[in-house]
Structure 1
Amino acid sequence: MSAARDAEVLEVDGHEVRVSHPDKVVFPQPGLTKLDLVRYYLDVADGALRGAGGRPMVLKRFVKGIEKEAFFQKRVPENHPDFIDTATLRYASGTSAEETVIRDAAGLAWVVNLGCIDLNPHPVRAEDLDHPDELRVDLDPMPGVDWSQIVDVAMIARDVLTDHGLVGWPKTSGSRGMHLLVRIEPRWSYPEVRLAAESLAREVERRAPGLATARWWKEERGESVFVDFNQNAKDRTVASAYSIRPLPDARVSTPLDWAEVRGCRPEQFTVASVPRRYAELGDPHAGIDDAAGSLDGLLRLADELGPAEKAPRGKGGDGGGGRRLSTMPLIEIARTETKPEALEALERWKAKHPEVVAALTPADVLVDGMRGSSSLWYRVRVNLQHVPEAERPEQGELEADYDPWAGKTWPTGRDGR
């Protein structure tokens, strides 16, 4: 057996890009190496740059492979090459970070070499950091929801956008859901864009009750598709077009034509299949930058709908110690460092309460990835709404009680990297 190579240097658009440990297997199931991922992004470079190029991005680095949690790096590495641009973003917390901006295929190869599997750009251009030029509609299915329901909601969202003078460009999320990207003129602030997105979500829910929901609190959504308007908040990023997602089959967030949305399935778009599709069909989103529209229609809709219903809070002026008081009978099962640990804790709890499990629907089990200081941790809760009140277990000791902030110190001026 030959020894693994330490590095391979690629010539990309006149730049040399060093790929360290090119033979490292990143996706064991299809056997994809780090160099395979770099070559994939070079094959679809124009499309990937249409989604992520020229935008500051958070580096989501899987340095230990897809089996381990990624860490989020806002600041650009100090020793970045001269073909990597930067932009300094200021966050709502008052902190700031000089973030990475890629503009060419060499930049794509460079960020992948850092361990970035998917690309997570902000919805602004580096030249104007205060005015988004993209509204993002994230159709997030609850457990128990199938693809056909997601498609139905996507079609209704497209109609709402059309009715308000906007064009939605669909792509698979690379997981179970779908994204609609909407180019807009860079004239509105982040709060205005988020308000427009929330109004869109509320109108989709109004047109498709039971199929779609704009309810922010997960336990209140039932088996519906959540139209996640909060992906338009200032600090949020989403995986952009042609991003590889950290799932075992190396699934890709793939731009679609509306005519193919209903007949496709997310799992058919992978690192193995997308370059061939791209070479044969081109990029269905090739015209997206020529379709920038106005938010005036959605903002008028916001006035017509009036203020959104606010979530109930705990007693006292601070909302019950800063915590929301749920209207649902929730109990917390576990807090863990990794998702496998969360699922193991859930199974232990289920084994102790088989009679309760029998009454639950898929949407009653809530396993949430929570943002920590630089990575995710996981919270497991169960909604007992379908369990007879007399049979509901009390909140007990957690099956696992991980503290994501244990041992952390926060120096003045931290950027939350």
Structure 2
Amino acid sequence: MASDAVTIQVPGPHGDRDIRVSSPSRVLWPEQGITKLQLAEYMIAVGDAFVLANGHRPVSLQRFSADIDGEAFFSKNPPKGAPDFIRSVPVVYPSGRSHAQLVIDEPAAAVWAVQMNTITFHPWASRAEDTDNPDQFRIDLDPQPETDFRDAVRIAVELRAVMAEAGLTAFIKTSGGRGVHVFAPIEPVHEFLEVRHAVIAAARELERRMPTEVTTSWWKEERGAKVFVDYNQANRDRTMAGAYSARPLALAPVSTPLEWSELSDADPRDFTVLTVPGRLQSVGDPWEHFADDPGDLSTLLQWWERDLGNGLGELPFPPDFPKMPGEPPRVQPSRAKKP
């Protein structure tokens, strides 16, 4: 591994910034031979679109000690010695504890994060100025064994229709793996728990329409060969890989925004650190106008109340969350005591 360093110029809203990149020839993706410097150059190439999608909100950095096969860890607060243009914002975690969390405001901040051995960026659904109230409605379509990306695509199309009926404009991106992420801009007037309930309402409606293909079952043993609608990604301090963020998988894939018209022919293997900059130059950013027309959750929250009235209650939370009001027993069904 090289021990030298290079300094690269990163354009941004406050002019060019010089960012030092140590060990630039360190290979991060062994199968592709992609280096740390190439990842930094990728972040410059997609910088404006990346910041538009992920900037000005709390973000967690998924960092690696070596290449993608090495030890990974998450970093949330700015480390000592961070440049003075790197800022943070206090956030409240599910435990009730408050702590400072990083915010990416310009491309140079993302390149600095790469210098800190970051590969994947995980932004919150809320913005730095109002961390308690999300301005993004997010659904993660997660293929289970015996299902794949094409199954998630078919379900995403129906989910788009469900969201449109509820007054939301859906945007689509690859997850960077086998899944699909469906987002919508919303007015930041509901706290995380209410947004989660709206996500569950949409997920249940989708499950009713596609019962043999979609599941909202939290427990893996109950999901079968279906696509799981991961409603718990809507919780406070739960994040997905950000748009234009690289993933630590063999082909160096990128979580890539698409036009809906592209979806039927899309192959997530085509969208990588090496190819996405050229795609962005040729077709532009499908999420450029993401935030132009935020919707509200009133219809979905009405569906939530309707389902409550029909006996469908709260769903399980992640294991690290405190016990939540109305939550069913947080125990794997096969291990639950039988009456």
**RMSD of the alignment, in Å?**
1.9
Retained in 1: the 8 A contact 2:147–2:225? yes
Change (3 A) 1:324 1:293: closer
Alignment match of 2:47 (pick from 42, 45, 48)? 45
Alignment match of 1:8 (pick from 3, 6, 10)? 6
Same amino acid, percent of matched pairs: 43
- Give the 5 Å matches for 1:328-367: 328=334
Give 2:171's aligned amino acid.
W
State the match for 1:308 in structure 2.
312
State the match for 1:266 in structure 2.
268
State the SS of the aligned residue for 1:117.
strand
Deviations 1:82-127 (CA, angstroms, capped at 9, x unpaired): 2212101111212222111111111110111111101111111111
State the SS of the aligned residue for 2:118.
coil
State the match for 1:292 in structure 2.
294
Shift of 1:4: 3.0
Give 2:208's aligned amino acid.
R
Give 2:192's aligned amino acid.
Y
State the match for 1:348 in structure 2.
none
Change (3 A) 1:309 1:191: closer
Distance 1:190 1:45 in 2: 28
Shift of 1:329: 7.7
Distance 2:331 2:102 in 1: 39
Deviations 1:365-397 (CA, angstroms, capped at 9, x unpaired): xxxxxxxxxxxxxxxxxxxxxxxxxxxxxxxxx
Which one scores higher on RCO, CA 8 angstroms, separation ≥ 6? 2
What TM-score do you get using the length of structure 2 for normalisation? 0.90
State the match for 1:17 in structure 2.
19
Change (3 A) 1:24 1:228: same
What TM-score do you get using the length of structure 1 for normalisation? 0.74
Distance 2:198 2:140 in 1: 14
Deviations 1:260-287 (CA, angstroms, capped at 9, x unpaired): 1011111111112111111100111111
Retained in 1: the 8 A contact 2:149–2:180? no
Alignment match of 1:81 (pick from 80, 83, 94)? 83
State the match for 1:244 in structure 2.
246
Retained in 1: the 8 A contact 2:307–2:313? no
Distance 2:97 2:130 in 1: 18
State the match for 1:123 in structure 2.
125
Change (3 A) 1:186 1:329: closer
- Give the 5 Å matches for 1:17-416: 17-306=19-308, 308-309=312-313, 324-328=330-334
Distance 2:126 2:281 in 1: 28
Retained in 1: the 8 A contact 2:185–2:291? yes
Aligned pairs, how many? 320
Deviations 1:51-83 (CA, angstroms, capped at 9, x unpaired): 211011112111222102311122211221122
Change (3 A) 1:218 1:10: same
Shift of 1:291: 2.4
Change (3 A) 1:311 1:287: closer
Give 1:213's aligned amino acid.
T
Give 2:94's aligned amino acid.
A
Distance 1:228 1:178 in 2: 11
Distance 1:302 1:327 in 2: 24
